Amino acid sequence: MPEGPDVHLVMDNYATHKTPKIKAWLARRPHWHIHFTPTSASWIHQVERWFAKLTRKQLQRGVHRSTAELEADITAFIEAHNENPKPYRWVKSADEILASVKRFCQRTQQTICIEI
């Protein structure tokens, strides 16, 4: 992407995103801003949400006698999903979500929760 508008990239907290090579690449691109999701917050990662839906709706109760059957089931789900795709829309603001996380931390007395 050419220099110009700022680019905000949200990634999970996986260590590969924090290697010296990645840090050096980002240092040369000051208009790129990286935001990491909190540890153990896979619910915020849309790809993981999609795979959870695939698992829940197509694979969980399925019986696959071979890899080919499993692949066929996954392909069928993808094709059906792509016939009428709908983007996920957040129904709460970031402030509402963070307030909910804060209440959870207070209720469960979690010391590991993100600082809000």
Instruction: Write out the chain's pLDDT in tens, 116 residues.
Output: 666 788 888 777 667 777 899 889 888 988 888 887 776 665 666 777 888 889 998 898 888 899 999 999 999 999 999 999 887 777 778 788 778 878 877 777 655 555 54
Closest listed residue to residue 37, CA positions, set 8, 14, 13: 13
- In the prediction, which pLDDT does 108 show? 73
Per-residue pLDDT, 116:
46
**pLDDT number for residue 66:** 92
CA distance readout (Å), 112 to 5, 6, 15, 88, 115:
35, 31, 18, 28, 9
pLDDT of residue 1: 61
Q: Are 26 and 32 in contact (CB under 8 A)?
A: yes
The answer to whether 116 and 98 are in contact (CB under 8 A) is: yes
